[in-house]
Chains A and B, each alone.
Chain A
């Protein structure tokens, strides 16, 4: 009999305590960031898709067409091609494409590059309507970037 009443009162009291918590939350500021109108800064370490770095001294990329990134990529999404031109030591990069639909952001390509030619970009607003929108031509991107 006593348990009947004590259960009733402790139960009712726990409900009131819970309601107090939500009431306090009602008068607290919202934590939402209303995204298209307010934007948060992305940390520079965010792993977006990779890009060739534009070397400030030479004004172009640092890739030496060794192909290590292509070999190490677990998802086979990088294609690197080069050709030998006369008078130039080593190969010249002619094609560097990234198939972003297969990339798993593992970072193997960035870490294995011997000349540090690759880095992640912090572009997170990528949305496209066709698969081809995500086949990036990195040489063109590095030339168009200032």
Chain B
């Protein structure tokens, strides 16, 4: 009883944080889905969704209902347990990194000391989901998508980590709160090369165009999620949008100072407005480049990583270490 009293505030805090993360995941999927389709329309000089609600605002809700009501078609020779497991593996870990992101001074689930390592570790779990999904579908196209996705994800984690490591060297802490607080000058000005490297790796890690080979629509007819329909497909999509959001949040915290900006009243709670503004700016950037560029070829993708990003990030790290130690 005493121990329960002692633990209760933390427990309540964690429960609220998890509920908040769930709200964020679904809310983000709604907003991002709508934003992506409307922006895609306007980039192509057409309107995007217009029918459901005023200028299509309710479109995503109706889409969600449709996806839930759809029949889950399972291919006959698919490996059934693995087939059903893949979307769950993709979607479930996506709540965890949201618990450690400092949305504002008081709004944070849990201030972990090794938050960055935690988040990158969770991001790697997505590779499993893609691989299992592609394999279990019993479809050669999906298998292709899975192979490419594995190689791509593993390769691009390295420049991502190295560029963020340069920032960690400057601030001596892995905790996101610490990095955010240590920015008197935003790190985008102190580490522009790391910023650019991180930007490219972010696009590749979240499997967005021009690096969306795992879901290359026109070559492989939707790659690893070809055989998924209904809710399973929407789990993959929500996981992808949330991964985009998490990567944008990391970029905001590391390079744009998180919640720093013109102080608003009740800044401890309203700092989240600046944070979300900056994070959604990165999401806009991701949508923008998706609808502008074609897809790179697989070997060109790997070339970009090994021949361009990796040397630059290593050299950047070296220079940072030398300058910090001086």
Whether chain B is bound by chain A comes out as yes
Which residues from chain A sit less than 8 Å from chain B, CB to CB?
A: 8, 15, 18-19, 21-23, 25-26, 28-32, 34
Q: Which residues of the other chain, A, contact B221 by a CB distance below 8 angstroms?
A: none
Contacts A18-B292, A19-B292, A34-B47 known; 11 new A-B pairs at CB < 8 A: A18-B293, A22-B43, A22-B288, A22-B291, A25-B43, A28-B45, A30-B45, A30-B46, A31-B46, A32-B45, A34-B50
Q: Which residues of the other chain, A, contact B70 by a CB distance below 8 angstroms?
A: none
* Cross-chain pair count, CB within 8 angstroms: 34
Q: Give bound CA distance, A28 to B46, whole Å.
A: 10
Kindly provide the distance from the CB of B298 to the nearest chain A CB, expressed in whole angstroms: 18
Given A22-B288, A26-B39, does the pair A31, B293 have CB atoms closer than 8 Å?
Answer: no
Kindly provide the distance from the CB of A13 to the nearest chain B CB, expressed in whole angstroms: 13
Kindly provide the distance from the CB of A34 to the nearest chain B CB, expressed in whole angstroms: 7
Q: Give bound CA distance, A30 to B45, whole Å.
A: 4
B308 lies within 8 A of chain A by Cβ? yes
B289 lies within 8 A of chain A by Cβ? yes
Given A22-B43, A25-B43, does the pair A15, B293 have CB atoms closer than 8 Å?
Answer: yes
User: Nearest chain-B residue to A7 (Cβ)?
Assistant: B308
B172 lies within 8 A of chain A by Cβ? no
Q: Which residues of the other chain, B, contact A31 by a CB distance below 8 angstroms?
A: 45-46
18 pairs of residues in contact across A and B, judged by CB atoms under 8 Å:
A8-B308, A18-B292, A18-B293, A19-B288, A21-B292, A22-B43, A22-B288, A22-B292, A23-B288, A25-B42, A25-B44, A26-B42, A26-B43, A28-B45, A29-B45, A30-B41, A30-B45, A31-B46
Q: Give bound CA distance, A21 to B53, whole Å.
A: 30
Q: Which residues of the other chain, A, contact B45 by a CB distance below 8 angstroms?
A: 25, 28-32
User: Nearest chain-A residue to B39 (Cβ)?
Assistant: A26
User: Nearest chain-B residue to A28 (Cβ)?
Assistant: B45
Q: Which residues of the other chain, B, contact A19 by a CB distance below 8 angstroms?
A: 288-289, 292
Q: Which residues of the other chain, A, contact B291 by a CB distance below 8 angstroms?
A: 22
B27-42: CB near A (< 8 Å → 1, else 0) gives 0000000000001011
Q: Give bound CA distance, A85 to B227, whole Å.
A: 69
Q: Which residues of the other chain, B, contact A23 by a CB distance below 8 angstroms?
A: 288
Kindly provide the distance from the CB of B291 to the nearest chain A CB, expressed in whole angstroms: 6
Q: Give bound CA distance, A21 to B293, whole Å.
A: 11
Kindly provide the distance from the CB of B235 to the nearest chain A CB, expressed in whole angstroms: 30
User: Is the CB–CB distance between A32 and B289 below 8 Å?
Assistant: no
User: Nearest chain-B residue to A37 (Cβ)?
Assistant: B50
Kindly provide the distance from the CB of B42 to the nearest chain A CB, expressed in whole angstroms: 5
A-B complex: 6 closest residue pairs judged by Cβ atoms: A22-B292, A32-B46, A32-B47, A22-B43, A31-B45, A26-B42
Q: Which residues of the other chain, B, contact A32 by a CB distance below 8 angstroms?
A: 45-47
Q: Which residues of the other chain, B, contact A15 by a CB distance below 8 angstroms?
A: 293
User: Is the CB–CB distance between B293 and A30 below 8 Å?
Assistant: no
Kindly provide the distance from the CB of B297 to the nearest chain A CB, expressed in whole angstroms: 14
Q: Give bound CA distance, A19 to B308, whole Å.
A: 21
Q: Which residues of the other chain, A, contact B46 by a CB distance below 8 angstroms?
A: 30-32
